[in-house]
Amino acid sequence: MNGQDTGLTNHEVTICLSGGAVLGPFNATWTRDEGGDVRELVREYDAYLQGEKQHRFKFHLHDTYTNTVHTLILNFANVTGICDHVRLKPHGG
């Protein structure tokens, strides 16, 4: 990626829980200047899977399409997977 990575990225986040329950999908957006914790959620969960202790439990996913915020409070011990589907901008322009 180039140094001008200030564009909006559109995420669709789905969280799978122990026992088969699913949370989401949640639409979420992220920019360098503002936005929620969508990338931090994935990073924190990845670190947890690699043996680090969970430090955060509350994450805010900002949805600019509906002008809402999804607040997720998660115990990673009960999470079996997180799918972060990212819609990229089309090339060209």
- Confidence band, pLDDT 50/70/90 cuts, at residue 72: very high
- Confidence band, pLDDT 50/70/90 cuts, at residue 2: very low
Domain containing residue 53? 10-87
Say if 47 falls within a structural domain: yes
Q: Give the chain's domain count.
A: 1
Task: Give the per-residue pLDDT at 24.
Answer: 94
- Confidence band, pLDDT 50/70/90 cuts, at residue 5: very low
Say if 81 falls within a structural domain: yes
Task: Give the per-residue pLDDT at 36.
Answer: 73
- Statement: the pTM of the whole predicted model exceeds 0.85: no
DSSP letter string over 27-85? EEEE-SSSB-SHHHHHHHHHHHHTTPPP---EEEEEETTTTEEEEEE--GGGEEEEEEE
Query: Residue 64 above 90 pLDDT?
Result: no
Say if 4 falls within a structural domain: no
Say if 77 falls within a structural domain: yes
